[in-house]
Amino acid sequence: MTTTTKHDRLETSSRGGGQAVPARSAKLPFLASANTRKLGLTVLGWTVALLIFFPIFWMVLTGFKTESAAIADPSLIFSPTLESYQAVQERAGYTRFALNSVAVAFGSTLLALLIAIPSAYSMAFLPTRRTKGTLLWMLSTKMLPPVGVLVPIYLIFRDVGLLDTRTGLIIIYTLMNLPIVVWMLYTFFKDMPKDILEAGRMDGATTFQEVCFLLLPLTLPGIASTGLLSVILSWNEAFWSLNLTSSKAAPLTAYIASFSSPEGLFWAKLSAASTMAIAPILVFGWLTQKQMVRGLTFGAVK
């Protein structure tokens, strides 16, 4: 009985289509289109990835060329040399800049997290009528061009003796990243079931214990990815480091910039210096990419 009905339906559908196509093959064009789409997306993905990666690849390559080879016609075939790296190393001590970068990036991230965790907690769990507005206002400060406040900040830094100090950079980077750090933590905290914190309160936890024993362990992936992002943003920041430091506290971004000298651009040396400057953060990003992606999609995929 059932078979007949099915058969009848198949016949009707093929007749309705005006062609004597068996019903089974009617599915195939759909499958084919899904495959094509997948292939198309893969190709597109790779193209975009290669486009983004190409400048980095070319920079690394240029770093291993001689100065003359670097300005000659672009070519993939050349005899690699460490000449530029040697020259760069002789002219300025890489380690000092790198240490500054590490101290400033991690220091500012730590400070930003210390300030942002309590603020995000209060905004997520004890919101007031003004919470949404405050969050938007915080984000809006990111839209201000930094150069707009360069002069006042420079003057303040000069007067309080923060110019060319790691502390100064840590402060400015913390302020720079705070809005985004608070926002990210806020969304992660928002996703945390309120019941669990209330259960903790019923069990006798103080707010501090609630945060340390329940909130932080449960939102660790989010906090980690926020921290990683803040480290990367601080590491890559150039505007403030170039303007507020000169030698003592200069991080790697200043190191790179020091190779675009008034005597002209030395492409090979500049590339070698840049490669050395971005290498640590590239490795760091590579190692933590799983954590980053997990954290960044933590709230989105529900």
Note the residues at the interface with another protein (CB under 8 A).
Answer: 193, 195-196, 198-205, 209, 213-214, 217-218
Rounding to the nearest 10 degrees, give the CA dihedral for residues 171, 176, 179, 180.
-120
Distance of alpha carbon 240 from alpha carbon 173, whole angstroms: 8
Distance of alpha carbon 259 from alpha carbon 274, whole angstroms: 9
Distance of alpha carbon 24 from alpha carbon 3, whole angstroms: 15
C-beta of 80 vs 217, nearer to another protein: 217
C-beta of 121 vs 266, nearer to another protein: 121
**Listed residue (230, 218, 210, 212) closest to 188, CA to CA:** 218
C-beta of 96 vs 201, nearer to another protein: 201
C-beta of 1 vs 202, nearer to another protein: 202
Q: If residue 261 lies in a helix (H) or strand (E), which one and from where to where?
A: strand 260-261
**Helix, strand and coil percent figures for the chain, each rounded to 5:** 80, 0, 20
Q: What are the structure tokens assigned to 204, written together?
A: 């006798």
- In the complex, least distance from residue 132 CB atom to another protein, rounded to whole angstroms: 15
C-beta of 43 vs 212, nearer to another protein: 212
- In the complex, least distance from residue 207 CB atom to another protein, rounded to whole angstroms: 11
**Listed residue (269, 222, 243) closest to 85, CA to CA:** 269
- In the complex, least distance from residue 212 CB atom to another protein, rounded to whole angstroms: 11
- In the complex, least distance from residue 104 CB atom to another protein, rounded to whole angstroms: 33
C-beta of 148 vs 204, nearer to another protein: 204
- In the complex, least distance from residue 225 CB atom to another protein, rounded to whole angstroms: 18
Question: What does the radius of gyration of the chain's CA atoms come to, in whole angstroms?
Answer: 28
- In the complex, least distance from residue 137 CB atom to another protein, rounded to whole angstroms: 23
- In the complex, least distance from residue 127 CB atom to another protein, rounded to whole angstroms: 13
| Pair 104, 166: CB distance under 8 Å | yes
Rounding to the nearest 10 degrees, give the CA dihedral for residues 79, 73, 83, 92.
-150
C-beta of 53 vs 213, nearer to another protein: 213
DSSP letter (8 states) at residue 215: I
C-beta of 201 vs 294, nearer to another protein: 201
- In the complex, least distance from residue 119 CB atom to another protein, rounded to whole angstroms: 23
Helices (H), 126-238: 131-140, 150-159, 166-190, 194-202, 207-209, 216-218, 220-236
